[in-house]
Amino acid sequence: MSLQKRIIVQELIAEQFLNRVLRLFDSLKIDDPMNPDTDIPPLSSENAVEEDAEMKLYVLILNQLS
């Protein structure tokens, strides 16, 4: 899966948007994949970690905006 690497945000709300995204990212829980509270399970490579984190963040952002 190829995820978007850029989000275009109007300058007027850029700082607020970034702060919200960073708070969402900080709220992700990395833990045992069998734990239902886990957002990101341990992954086998840095690339897998980045892709999984990006997908979770993308979904969180969409949920916050809708």
Give pLDDT tens digits for 40-58: 777 666 676 677 777 777 7
Distances (CA, A) of 56 to 11, 24, 49, 61: 24, 10, 11, 9
- Please write the tens of the pLDDT for every residue from 17-27: 888 888 887 88
Please give the tally of structural domains in the chain. Answer: 1
Residue 58 lies in a domain: yes
Tell whether pTM > 0.75. no
Per-residue confidence (pLDDT) for residue 12, from 0 to 100: 94
Q: What is the pLDDT of residue 57?
A: 72
Examine residue 24 and state whether it is found in any structural domain, yes or no: no
Q: Is residue 62 part of a domain?
A: yes
Q: Residues 4-16: pLDDT tens digits?
A: 667 788 999 989 9
Cα 12 to chain centroid, rounded: 22
Residue 49: give the domain boundaries: 32-66
Is 14 inside a domain boundary? no
Residue 25, domain member (yes or no): no
